[in-house]
């Protein structure tokens, strides 16, 4: 490693002025590194270089040139090679990524790697490659492979069921690799073809909508249109099923007609197949979907296509925000309140907040839609930064659902279900309607207890119980992913009386199946939808009416439209009503409103039933006597009174090591440094609410100031000193600017 020297070398004065370049190297240090280069191989700003680093060679990003260095010139190494002959990133994206790294106080080299396709970070040439697909030949259509050629038969079937061709994506989804096709190609059953690059952008085809926008939609569309070529954030505040998607589609149409691209950010692509489908149906132009099922190569290709303007609509999850564009005209963020827009590890950024910055840089409009807008966005409406567009009624004929709270105190519960709830489910089923039973806890039971000695199955790496998954016969820690088989006997007293305690979705689904033996129960949670496309298949099944009772977690709260679903029953929300996190109220109100929004989206009236041991809890009462909008105004007022974000700014420092003393010591050193700044309030250090996780002991320090700029300035000044602390060497630590979860 290079050591700084005391005197600066005034290199420009020397006869042989060296060529120095500042490089962002993907390592966890908040600084740039100097390298020399030869005249014959001048790197490009915003392009990549291969550099020696310690004993390895790393791909780095060129940030700028320099004529002087803080280091001894003799010790400054030469770059190995220039990877990009021209800039990989245009100025806008290049500056945006750097700004993001600075704002979130994350090492710049790591930020580049986190923002760009993984192959870019590996030094792959950034060139659009043709995509291949495999076409079934006439012989292939009639082929009769030997009966023991299982793979060949499966592949032929697959091709036949996919319009006689196989794409790389289809292969991957069914766990095949291109190499598996060799014998079929040799037999003349398949041919390898090049997929033509889509060029439809020049003439995007927009299919007409089947309905006219209603008055409120019309108003929203007109307001967006009025600012179609300037920076303006819009909060599209529309109750569930009010037709927000239709507003997006029309706004995008205007951009397409102007020859501009649109970026659409969604919480999770796999969870919202219906929304995606509606985009595809409306726009027969080149939509690019960035999702986790893609190969690295495909992801790079989509990235390059967007950069060259070959795709007009890019739909993706949070990291799609860092896509390069030829001419971006609009950003849409669907379900803007969703926590998944915040990256919770590594480069901890908020895609929603950064999208505003990017839209501002590009001077384009941005639409953030939600039925339950975040408190931050409500605040931005109240201070005039956002324009609110309201859709207050359900579109079409659907009416707002009725709601009831069932007091379950002292009432017998059968597997979590009270008698009145059971009767409610019965009556909806009798009318041929579907019911959603919501429980935000997957697995069979949240813990296992020994009836004889009281032993509880705890994770030995975390301060939490292990969840019992009956189908897999396993105990699973949902915090560190540790899995073990359920022991046959109690490890403490050898008793075989091991009882599952509490209720998870697996157990609830089983209980409902035996309560309603004539009806089909389907479970929707992370476990039942692990396979690719399974969410899509389940959603289709529900829509076709093949399931009567749907047991689900919050996965089902997102944007689904089931016209025949009329009852939403919330089994157990009490745990969410009492939490130390000041954001808990907001999250619970959002979750309940979203889940409730699944009921009665068709012609029949919907109903929502919530079981609670705290039926008088103000959150529950307010949620049903007022609407979310009124409730969130109250929450905003409470934040103001307590001087909490968005009325102040916070940064959370997390630290961990194998024993708690080390992170506490480091955070104390940090607190001592930060306490010198009177504008900053420093809380802690204190042990994290969950001290032990994945075998590490954790502590944290919370910083608060009046506004984001103040906290930024202080961190910029203090971090170099903090990083040099001896105690910093003993721990892992991270900075979370604008944290969304404080544990
Ligand atoms: P949201 O995104 O607000 O939850 P959607 O855009 O999914 O709502 O709309 C809900 C349903 O209403 C969809 O089936 C949609 O096709 C339909 N819809 C939207 N706007 C209208 C309209 N103006 N007239 C009739 N139906 C509409
Ligand atoms: Zn025991
Ligand atoms: Zn664990």
- pLDDT, residue 233, reads 98
The mean of the pLDDT values for the chain is: 89
pLDDT at 174: 83
Q: Please, what is the angle between helix 618-625 and helix 628-641, to 10°?
A: 140
pLDDT score of 353 more than 60 = yes
- Determine the pLDDT at residue 709: 95
- The tens digit of pLDDT for each residue in 230-243 reads 999 999 999 888 89
Per-residue model confidence as pLDDT tens digits over 306-324: 999 989 999 999 999 999 9
Using one digit for the tens of pLDDT, what is the confidence trace for 269-300? 776 667 777 888 888 768 888 887 788 888 99
Residue nearest to atom 23 of ligand 1 (CA): 213
Distance CA 486, CA 498 (A): 9
Distances in Å between the Cα of 304 and the Cα atoms of 288, 309, 399, 501, 525 are 11, 9, 45, 52, 35
Which bound ligand lies closest to the C-alpha atom of 491?
Answer: 2
Give distance in angstroms: CA of 246 to centre of ligand 1: 6
Residue 180 confidence (pLDDT): 87
The CA distance from 134 to 184, in Å, is 10
Helices (H) and strands (E) in the chain, counts: 22, 30
What pLDDT, on a 0 to 100 scale, did the predictor assign at position 7?
A: 43
Residue 71's pLDDT is: 79
**In the predicted model, what is the mean pLDDT of residues 652-670?**
97
Give residue 483 CA to ligand 3 midpoint distance, Å.
Answer: 9
Averaged over 598-620, what is the pLDDT? Answer: 85
Dist CA 187 CA 154 (whole Å) = 15
Q: Measured in angstroms, how far is the CA atom of residue 502 from the centroid of ligand 2? A: 18
Higher pLDDT: 167 or 547? It is 547
- Residue 462 C-alpha to ligand 3 middle, in angstroms? 4
pLDDT of residue 577: 84
Ligand 1 atom at minimal distance to the Cα of residue 391: 3
Measured CA to CA, the distance from residue 438 to residue 610 in angstroms comes to 10
Residue 528 CA to ligand 3 center (angstroms) comes to 21
Q: How far apart are CA 286 and CA 256, in angstroms?
A: 11
Q: How many C-beta neighbours within 10 Å does residue 703 have?
A: 24
Per cent of the chain over pLDDT 70 is: 94
pLDDT at 94: 96
Residue 441 and residue 504 in contact, taking contact as beta carbons nearer than 8 Å: yes
> Which of 424, 417, 419 is CA-nearest to residue 439?
417
pLDDT (mean) for 420-435: 94
Q: Is 217's pLDDT higher than 80?
A: yes
Residue 329 parent element (H or E): strand 328-334
Structure tokens given for 512: 């409902």
User: What's the whole-number mean pLDDT along residues 437-454?
Assistant: 95
What's the pLDDT at 13? 43
Check residue 662 and give its pLDDT.
97
- For ligand 1, is residue 394 a contact (CB within 6 Å)? no
Q: Is the CB of 250 under 6 A from ligand 1?
A: no
Q: Give pLDDT, residue 41.
A: 87
- Residue 3 is predicted with a pLDDT of 41
CA of 243 to the centre of ligand 1 (A): 4
Q: What is the pLDDT of residues 196-207, one digit of tens each?
A: 655 444 456 778
pLDDT at res. 204: 62
334 within ligand 1 shell (Cβ under 6 A): no
User: What pLDDT is recorded for position 272?
Assistant: 67
Length of the chain: 743
* C-alpha 457 – ligand 2 centre gap (Å): 10
Q: What pLDDT band is residue 613 in, cutting at 50, 70 and 90? A: very high
Q: Percentage of residues in the chain with pLDDT exceeding 90?
A: 63
Q: Is the CB of 396 under 6 A from ligand 1?
A: yes
| Tens digit of each residue's pLDDT (9 = 90 or more) over 515-571 | 999 999 999 998 888 876 788 888 889 989 999 999 999 888 776 778 889 999 999
Of 311-320, 488-497, 562-571, 619-628, least confident by mean pLDDT is 619-628
What count of other Cβ atoms lies within 10 Å of the Cβ of residue 68?
17
* Residues, CB-to-ion distance under 5 Å, ligand 2: 450, 452-453, 455, 490, 492-493, 495
Could you tell me if 673 and 721 are in contact, meaning their C-beta atoms sit under 8 angstroms apart?
A: yes
Nearest to 112 by CA among 74, 68, 65, 60: 60
What is the pLDDT confidence band of residue 5, given thresholds at 50, 70 and 90? very low
Backbone angles phi, psi at 632, to 5 degrees: -75, -25
* Contact indicator for 239, 394 with CB cutoff of 8 Å: yes
pLDDT digits (tens, 9 = 90+) for 15-39: 466 789 999 999 998 899 999 999 8
pLDDT of res. 397: 67
Of 732 and 68, more confident? 732
Residue with tokens 């290199």: 11
Q: Ligand 1: which residue has its CA nearest to atom 16?
A: 243
CB atoms within 10 A of CB 669: 17
User: What pLDDT is attached to residue 741?
Assistant: 86
Indicate if the pLDDT at residue 600 is higher than 80.
no
Mutate to test the pocket of ligand 1, among 267, 395, 556, 558 (most ligand atoms within 8 A of CB): 395
User: How many alpha carbons fall within 13 Å on the CB side of residue 161?
Assistant: 9
Which helix (H) or strand (E) segment is 423 a member of? helix 419-430
Res 15: pLDDT: 44
Q: Strand, coil or helix: what is 526? A: coil
371 Cα nearest atom in ligand 1: 3
Place 74 in a pLDDT band, splitting at 50, 70 and 90.
Answer: confident
284 CB-near residues (< 8 Å, 6+ apart): 200, 204, 205, 206, 207
> Which residues, listed in sequence order, are joined to residue 165 by a DSSP beta bridge?
135
Could you tell which of 208, 237, 246 is best to mutate to test the pocket of ligand 1, judged by most ligand atoms within 8 Å of the CB?
A: 246
- Output the pLDDT for position 594: 87
Can you give the pLDDT at residue 165? 83
Q: Give the residue, out of 235, 242, 245, 336, with the most ligand 1 atoms within 8 A of its beta carbon, to mutate for a pocket test.
A: 245
Does residue 611 carry a pLDDT above 70?
yes
Ligand 3 center to 554 CA (angstroms): 22
Ligand nearest to the CA of 477: 3
* Residue 238 CB–ligand 1 contact under 6 Å: yes
Burial 401-422 (b: 16+ CB within 10 A, else e): bebebbebeeeeeeebbbeebe
The residue with greater pLDDT, 574 or 531, is 574
The pLDDT assigned to 8 comes to: 42
């Amino acid at each position: 490693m290079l050591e700084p020297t005391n005197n600066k070398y005034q290199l420009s004065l020397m006869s042989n002025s060296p060529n120095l370049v500042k490089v962002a190297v993907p390592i966890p240090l908040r600084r740039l590194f100097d390298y020399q280069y030869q005249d014959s191989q001048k790197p490009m700003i915003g392009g990549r270089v291969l550099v020696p680093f310690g004993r390895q060679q790393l791909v780095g990003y060129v940030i700028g040139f320099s004529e002087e260095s803080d280091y001894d010139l003799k010790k400054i190494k030469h770059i190995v090679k220039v990877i990009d002959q021209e800039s990989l990133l245009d100025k806008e994206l290049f500056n945006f990524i750097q700004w993001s790294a600075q704002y979130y106080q994350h090492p710049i080299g790591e930020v580049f790697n986190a923002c760009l396709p993984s192959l870019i970070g590996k030094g792959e040439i950034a060139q659009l490659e043709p995509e291949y697909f495999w076409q079934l030949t006439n012989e292939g259509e009639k082929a009769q492979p030997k009966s023991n050629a299982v793979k060949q038969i499966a592949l032929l079937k697959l091709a036949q069921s996919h319009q006689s061709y196989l794409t790389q994506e289809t292969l991957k989804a069914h766990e095949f690799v291109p190499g598996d096709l060799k014998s079929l190609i040799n037999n003349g059953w398949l041919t390898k073809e090049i997929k033509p690059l889509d060029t439809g952008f020049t003439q995007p085809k927009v299919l007409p909508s089947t309905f006219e926008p209603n008055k409120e939609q019309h108003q929203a569309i007109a307001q967006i249109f009025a600012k179609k070529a300037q920076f303006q954030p819009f909060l599209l505040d529309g109750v569930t099923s009010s037709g927000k998607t239709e507003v997006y589609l029309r706004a995008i149409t205007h951009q397409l007609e102007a020859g501009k691209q649109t970026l659409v950010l969604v919480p999770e692509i796999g969870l919202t197949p219906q929304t995606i489908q509606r985009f595809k149906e409306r726009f027969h132009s080149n939509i690019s979907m960035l999702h986790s099922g893609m190969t690295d190569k495909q992801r790079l290709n989509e990235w390059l296509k967007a950069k060259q303007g070959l795709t007009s609509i890019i739909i993706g999850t949070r990291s799609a925000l860092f896509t390069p564009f030829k001419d971006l005209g609009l950003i849409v963020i669907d379900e803007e309140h969703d926590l998944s827009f915040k990256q919770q590890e590594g480069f901890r950024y908020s895609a929603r907040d950064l999208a505003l910055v990017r839209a501002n840089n590009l001077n384009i409009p941005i639409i953030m839609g939600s039925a339950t807008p975040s408190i931050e966005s409500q605040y931005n409406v109240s201070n005039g930064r956002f324009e609110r567009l309201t859709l207050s009624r359900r579109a079409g004929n659907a009416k707002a659902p009725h709601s009831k709270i069932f007091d379950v105190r002292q009432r017998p519960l059968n597997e979590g279900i009270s008698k009145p709830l059971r009767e409610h489910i019965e009556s909806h089923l009798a009318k041929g309607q579907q019911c959603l039973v919501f429980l935000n806890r997957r697995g069979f039971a949240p813990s296992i207890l020994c009836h004889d000695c009281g032993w509880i199955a705890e994770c030995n790496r975390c301060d939490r119980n292990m969840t019992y998954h009956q189908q897999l016969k396993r105990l699973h820690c949902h915090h560190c992913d540790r899995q073990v088989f359920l022991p046959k006997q109690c490890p403490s007293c050898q008793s075989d009386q091991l009882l599952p305690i509490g209720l998870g979705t697996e157990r609830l689904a089983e209980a409902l199946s035996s309560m309603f033996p004539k009806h089909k129960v389907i479970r929707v949670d992370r476990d039942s939808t692990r396979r690719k496309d399974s969410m899509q298949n389940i959603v289709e099944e529900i829509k076709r009416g093949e399931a009567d009772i749907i047991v689900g977690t919050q996965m089902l709260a997102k944007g689904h439209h089931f016209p025949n679903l009329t009852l939403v029953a919330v089994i157990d929300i009490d745990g969410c009503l009492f939490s130390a996190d000041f954001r808990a109220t907001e999250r619970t109100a959002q979750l309940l409103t979203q889940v409730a929004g699944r009921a009665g989206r068709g012609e029949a009236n919907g109903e929502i039933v919530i079981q609670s041991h705290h039926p008088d809890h103000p959150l529950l009462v307010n949620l049903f006597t007022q609407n979310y909008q009124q409730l969130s105004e109250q929450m905003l007022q409470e934040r103001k009174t307590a001087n909490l974000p968005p009325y102040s700014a916070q940064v959370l420092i997390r630290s961990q090591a194998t024993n708690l003393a080390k992170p506490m010591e480091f955070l104390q050193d940090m607190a001592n440094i930060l306490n010198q700044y009177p504008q900053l309030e420093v809380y802690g250090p204190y042990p994290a609410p969950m001290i032990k996780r994945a075998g590490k002991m954790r502590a944290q320090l919370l910083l608060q100031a009046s506004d984001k700029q103040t906290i930024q300035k202080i961190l910029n000044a203090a971090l170099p000193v903090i990083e040099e602390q001896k105690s910093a060497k003993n721990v892992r630590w991270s900075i979370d600017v604008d944290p969304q979860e404080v544990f």
